Amino acid sequence: MEIHIVADASEGAKAVADAIESTLRGAAGSGAVLGLATGSSPVPAYTELIRRHREEGLSFAGSRAFLLDEYVGLAAGHEQSYHRFIRENFTSHIDIDDAAVVSPDGSAEDPAAEAAAYDEKIREAGGVDLQILGIGSNGHIAFNEPGSSLASRTHVVGLTQGTIQDNARFFGDVSEVPVRALSQGLGTIRDARRIVLTASGEGKAAAVAQLVEGAISARWPATSLQLHPEVLVVIDEAAASQLELSDYYRFQHSLAAQNPVVPHS
C-alpha cells in the first residue's frame, strides 16, 4: 500500500487524475475499464480530468466504466441516483460513450439477481483496470458497511443509520434516504488490477488510520484493501492526522519520487 499525503484537495485531485490518465494511456487502442466512485471525495479529481480532456486532449474514447453502487428503489433518472450523479459530475463532460458507463439498476424487480448480473458484466468486460474509491467515516467502501464479508461479491446491503444520516444532506430529509443499496462487494472491488482511494478532512482520519495501520477486520471494511497488491491512498493532512507512521510514509513517497523504479524490459 502506497501512502501519498498531500497538502490540499487540489494536489490530491491531481494525484488521482495522474493515476487515471496513466491507466488510459497504458490501455491506448483497447480502452481502459475504470471503476468510478460517487460521493464528494473523487469529485475534485473528476473536475481535473474534465479540464485535461478539454484543455490537453486527454481522451476516454473506447473506455468503459462501472459504478460501485446504487440505491435500491431509485430509478436511473432520479436526481439522487448515482447513475445521474456520475453523468452530471463527470462522464457527460468527456468523450466516453454514455452506454459504456454502467451502474447497478436500483429499480430492478429482483435486486439480488441484478447484483449477480452486475458482477457478470464486470467479468465480461475483462475486469476493472483501475478502481477509484472514497471511504466512509466508519470505514465503509462502496456501501460495504461494518460487518460486511471481506470476500463479498456485488450484493444488496442495508445501510447503517450513520451512513443514512451522512447522506441525508443530499436529500430533502433523512426520511427520504433509501435504506438499502446495491453495492459491489469487497471481493469484487479487490478484483480490480489497481486501486486508488482518496480521502480528505478530519472526519475521515480514524477510518484512514484503520485502513493503513489497523488490523484487517470486518469492523473496518476498508482494511480488506491491505490484501490487495497495488493500492494508492491519497489523503490530505487532516485525513492523515491519526497515522502514527506519517513521517515514514512521507519519506517513502519522497524517495520514490526521486528514484523511480524502472521496470525491466
Q: What cell does 23 get?
A: 491507466
| Residue 166 among the catalytic residues | no
CA of residue 203 relative to chain centroid, distance: 18
State the Cα–Cα distance between residues 164 and 166, nearest whole angstrom.
Answer: 5
Per the residue annotation, which of 69, 105, 166, 236 is the catalytic one? Answer: 69
State the Cα–Cα distance between residues 189 and 130, nearest whole angstrom.
Answer: 10
DSSP state, 140?
-
Per the residue annotation, which of 70, 114, 119, 145 is the catalytic one? Answer: 145
Per the residue annotation, which of 48, 70, 105, 140 is the catalytic one? Answer: 140
Q: Rounded to 10 degrees, what is the CA torsion of 194, 153, 223, 162?
A: 120
Q: What cell does 130 get?
A: 483501475
In sign, the C-alpha dihedral spanning 194, 128, 49, 60 is positive
Q: What cell does 15 get?
A: 494525484
State how far the alpha carbon of 170 is from the alpha carbons of 39, 53, 76, 101, 175, in Å: 10, 28, 16, 22, 12
| Residue 140 among the catalytic residues | yes
Q: Specify whether the CB–CB gap between 45 and 132 falls below 8 A.
A: yes
State the Cα–Cα distance between residues 46 and 49, nearest whole angstrom.
Answer: 5
Per the residue annotation, which of 70, 105, 138, 155 is the catalytic one? Answer: 138
Provide the annotated active-site residues. Answer: 69, 138, 140, 145
